[in-house]
Amino acid sequence: MKVKKFQAPSMPEVMNKVKKNLGTDAVILNSKEIKVGGFLGMFKKPQVEVIAAIDPSDESENRSTRQTQKSAPAVHRSADPSLDNNEVMKELKQLKTLVQQQASHGEKQTSLQKIADYLKEQELEQSFVNERIQSIVLSSYEEELNENQLKDLVKNDICQALPPAALGKQGFTKKYIHLVGPTGVGKTTTIAKLASDAVLNRNESVAFITTDTYRMAAVDQLKTYAKLLDVPLEVAYTIEDYRKARERLKAYDLVFIDTAGRNFKDPFYVSELTKMIEFNEDTETYLVLSLTSKYADMKEIFDSLNQVPINKLIFTKKDETSKIGGALSLSILHQIGIAYITFGQDVPDDIEHTNPTKLVDTIMGDYSNE
């Protein structure tokens, strides 16, 4: 028995292929509509797929009707009918295996497409999702995997793509910790949470410097936190004020520096930031962004800060959104770790250390197999 698979945009066209290759005596074993082309489910075109078969002896008899097709060698039937039956059973088993493999592969593609669609809904960058799914398709092609197993493979693949971020005391490798970021993302509150953790949980000496003199409310807010923690606060209006403040506070374990939130899509404000504070070997800089921001806006802000040596990321307002795909995409694209995520206004409670496994569990938490 000779078995072949054919594809064409419509049933008449695919049947023409069957007749041309196998002749009019071919038997249709299975037919279904599939989508091919595009890239992993994107922009695919519908096709009809047919699995057809013909007995070689029948094909030999119809050789004259297929002059453009090389005929298969004639198969002489054995005088012993049991031998023919054994051969037929063997071919039927092979055919069954082929059909089962096709069905399993189709189910796997459907499950992976469902996972890919979910990740894109979570605002993970589309090109990255496609790459991850393609990687899994290639690495598990011969394996029969259910949807839960495929989900675990996807989670592991994303974990491997995310860079690690040292956390807690080990995360602060320098004395002077800058927090930079656009207006309204919660830098001042985040500084208070980090400082509270250092003072209350690690018994470290802490001090504050603020260069955010554009908003008096920001200075007053940091003064309140400084008073509650019983730590010193220096206000710097110029680069000289900043340098002197650092010198006065050099005896402290950690000095957290609050910077002005501006529209960093404007190169002028980025240049102004670099003139106001110094990013040298004694400093560590965290970029603070809101999870409620669009990925395109996050990326634009990060790219605009190319003059600033960003060491790690902090994301705020997790309590205001269920989607963190943009944060993961930014981290993966620039291979920069996400150190903390905040989820409310309470100091020092509403902040958590994070790592790749926790982030991937968060993004896949609402995924359902149903």
- For residue 330, give the CATH number of its domain: 3.40.50.300
Q: How confident is the model at residue 98 (pLDDT cuts 50, 70, 90)?
A: low
pLDDT band at 300 (very low <50, low <70, confident <90, very high): very high
**Which residues in 285-323 are b (16+ Cβ under 10 Å) and which e?**
bbbbbbbbbebeebbebbebbeebebbbbbbbbbeeeee
Return the pLDDT at 168: 45
Residues 187 and 313 reside in one and the same domain: yes
Q: Which of 130-155 are b and which e, b meaning 16 or more Cβ less than 10 Å from the residue's Cβ? A: bebbeebeeeeeeeebebeebbebbb
Write the CB contacts of 151 (distance below 8 Å, at least 6 apart in sequence).
Answer: 115, 364, 367, 369
Residue 87 inside a domain? The answer is yes
Q: Is residue 231's pLDDT more than 60?
A: yes
- In this structure, are 178 and 302 located in the same domain? yes
| More confident of the two residues 141 and 216 | 216
- 173-to-108, 233, 282, 295 alpha-carbon distances in Å: 45, 22, 9, 29
Looking at the domain assignment, is residue 235 inside a domain? yes
pLDDT digits (tens, 9 = 90+) for 160-183: 888 876 544 455 888 999 999 988
Which pLDDT score, from 0 to 100, does residue 169 have?
A: 45
pLDDT given for residue 354 in this prediction: 83
One domain, residues 149 and 291: no
Q: Kindly state whether residues 203 and 251 are assigned to the same domain.
A: yes
Q: Lowest-pLDDT range, 31-35, 76-80, 355-359?
A: 76-80
Lowest mean pLDDT segment, chosen from 46-50, 85-89, 148-152, 191-195: 85-89
pLDDT of the residue at 79: 55
* Listed residue (318, 293, 298, 325) closest to 120, CA to CA: 325
CB 154 within 8 Å of CB 115: yes
| pLDDT top residue among 260 and 168 | 260
Nearest-angstrom CA–CA distance, 255 and 273: 18
With respect to residue 72, please indicate whether it lies within any of the assigned structural domains.
no
88: alpha, beta or left, given left = phi > 0 and alpha = psi -120 to 50?
Answer: alpha
Residue 360 in any domain: the answer is no
- Residues 222, 350 share a domain: yes
Distance of CA 295 to the CA centre of its chain: 12
Helix axes 187-202, 216-229, angle to 10 degrees: 10
Amino acid type, 81: P
Q: Is 317 left (phi over 0), alpha (psi -120 to 50) or beta?
A: left
Kindly state the average pLDDT of the residues 337-356. 86
Same domain, yes or no: 342 and 280: yes
68 — pLDDT class (breaks 50, 70, 90): very low
Q: Which pLDDT band, with edges at 50, 70 and 90, does 244 fall under?
A: very high
Q: What are the tens digits of pLDDT across the range 24-41? A: 777 777 777 777 766 555
Beta bridge partners of 51: 5, 30
Range of the domain at 28: 1-63
The pLDDT > 90 percentage for the chain reads: 28
- In DSSP notation, 308-334 reads S---EEEEE-GGG-S--HHHHHHHHHH
Number of domains in the chain: 3
Looking at the structure, do residues 176 and 159 belong to the same domain, yes or no? no
| Shared domain check, 97 and 122 | yes
